């Protein structure tokens, strides 16, 4: 079973993402952790959604190869996108991320069937 790991220190953001992800991808396990989760925890995930500070920590600590990391950011400026790319992020989403954006970015990474409509 694929696992989406959500790493964000902001509880409200994390909880909202988890609820939306569980509705979109009912066949996927959604797990959460603090922004400073260890590479061992990250290695068990299929995809990681992480705040930009968490992405930076993951990269500094050696993010496991083969696990796509999507950066969550409040600002989608060109500088932020270039920073995410330089860190090795597989993509970036503006928070709060909506269902359509999550489905568009994560679906292909999970080889997902079309997600459920959560409107």
The pLDDT of residue 61 is 78
Mean pLDDT of the chain: 87
Q: Is the pLDDT of residue 1 over 70?
A: yes
CB 57 within 8 Å of CB 34: no
CB burial of 61-76 (b: ≥16 within 10 Å; e: otherwise) equals: eebbeebbbbbbbeee
Rounded to two decimals, the pTM is: 0.87
Helix (H) / strand (E) element for 45: namely: none
Indicate if the pLDDT at residue 9 is higher than 70. Answer: yes
| Segment 67-70 long-range contacts (CB within 8 Å, at least 24 positions apart) | 67/42, 67/43, 68/109, 69/42, 70/105, 70/106, 70/109
Domains (range + CATH), the chain = 3-109 (3.40.50.2300)
């Amino acid at each position: 079973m694929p696992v989406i790991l959500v790493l964000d220190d902001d509880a409200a953001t994390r909880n909202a993402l988890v609820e939306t992800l569980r509705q979109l991808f009912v066949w996927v396990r959604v797990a959460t952790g603090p922004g400073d989760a260890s590479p061992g925890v990250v290695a068990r995930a299929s995809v990681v959604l992480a705040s930009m500070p968490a992405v930076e920590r993951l990269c500094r600590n050696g993010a496991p190869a083969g696990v796509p990391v999507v950066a969550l950011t409040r600002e989608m400026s060109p500088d932020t996108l270039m920073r995410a790319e330089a860190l090795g992020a597989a993509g970036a989403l503006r928070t709060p991320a909506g269902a359509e954006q999550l489905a568009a970015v994560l679906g292909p990474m999970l080889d997902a069937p079309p997600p459920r409509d959560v409107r």
